[in-house]
Amino acid sequence: MRKDNKYYINFLLNEIRLAFVENKFILLFATLIFVIPMFLGYYFHDAFSSFLDPMINSFKDQVTSGEIKLETGGIFLNNVKVALSLYYLAIFLGIFAIALLAYNGLFIGYYASGSNLLSFSILVLPHGILELPGIIIAGAAGFTLLIFCILFIKDIILNFMNSTDNSINNIIELIKNSYNKNFRKLVQSFILLAVSVLMILIAAVIEANLTLSIAKTIFDFLH
C-alpha cells in the first residue's frame, strides 16, 4: 500500500475516534434513552401490553406477508430507515428522535420479556451486538446534528447583534463564518451516522445468513 493511502486511512480512523471521544456525553445520553425504556419494557411488561401488542402483531404480519423480508436487503432497509429517521428527526429539538429511540428500546425490552430470555439472547446477540449499538449511534449522530444547528444559529444571531453592518453581504459573511466555525460538529454527525449504517449493514448480513446457524449450534450444544 502506498504511503499516501496509509495517511488517508490513519486520518479517517483518527477522525472516527475523535467523533466518538468528543461526543461521548451525547453517546451516553443516547444510550440511556435507549436502555432505560428497554429495561422498563422488560420489567413492566403488563403496563405496556395494550400499547405494544398491536405493534408486535403488526410486525409479525409484515414479516408473514413479505412486506418485511428476512434477508439481508430487507433487514438492512428496515433498520437503516430507523437510523436515518433518528438522524433527521433530531433537528426538531431532539423530541421526535428521543421518542423514536426510546420506543425502539421499549419494544425490544417488551419483546424479550415475552420470550425465554436465554433463547431470545441466543437469537439476538449474534447480530444485535452490532445492530443495537448501531441504532444508538444513529441517535447520537442526530443529537450531534442538532448541536451543530443550535451552535450555527446561535453564532449567527450573536454576531449579527454585535455588528453595526446590516447589509446582505455582511449577513452572508456571518453565515459563512458561523458555518466554518461549527463545520467540524456537522462532519462528526456524518461520521457517526456512517459508522451506524455500516454496523447495521454488517448486522443485517449476520442476521440473514448466520444468526440461525449460530443459534442452532448453540442450542444443539446446550441440549
With vertex at residue 84, the alpha carbon angle to CA 80 and CA 89, rounded to the nearest 5 degrees, is 145
Q: Name the pLDDT band for 37 (thresholds 50, 70, 90).
A: very high
φ/ψ region of 71 (left if φ > 0, alpha if ψ in -120 to 50, else beta) reads beta
Please check the confidence at residue 163 and state whether its pLDDT lies above 90.
no
Q: How much is the pLDDT for 160? A: 86
Average pLDDT over residues 72-83: 93
Q: Name the pLDDT band for 89 (thresholds 50, 70, 90).
A: very high
pLDDT tens, 197-209?
A: 999 999 999 999 9
Cell of 223: 441440549
Mean pLDDT of the chain: 91
Q: How much is the pLDDT for 1? A: 47
Question: Cα–Cα distance between 175 and 48 in angstroms, integer?
Answer: 46
pLDDT tens, 49-76?
A: 888 888 888 877 777 776 667 789 889 9
pTM of the model: 0.92
Q: Name the pLDDT band for 31 (thresholds 50, 70, 90).
A: very high
Cell of 89: 428527526
Question: Cα–Cα distance between 36 and 98 in angstroms, integer?
Answer: 12
Q: How much is the pLDDT for 3? A: 60
Please check the confidence at residue 2 and state whether its pLDDT lies above 60.
no
Please check the confidence at residue 27 and state whether its pLDDT lies above 70.
yes
Question: Cα–Cα distance between 86 and 94 in angstroms, integer?
Answer: 9
H/E element, 102: helix 95-113
Question: Cα–Cα distance between 161 and 48 in angstroms, integer?
Answer: 49
Cell of 82: 430507523
pLDDT tens, 93-104?
A: 899 999 999 999
Question: Cα–Cα distance between 113 and 103 in angstroms, integer?
Answer: 15
Residue of 220 and 189 predicted with greater confidence: 189
- Whole-angstrom CA distances from 113 to 52, 56, 120, 127 are 12, 13, 9, 19
Question: Cα–Cα distance between 131 and 122 in angstroms, integer?
Answer: 14
Please check the confidence at residue 215 and state whether its pLDDT lies above 90.
no
Question: Cα–Cα distance between 38 and 107 in angstroms, integer?
Answer: 7
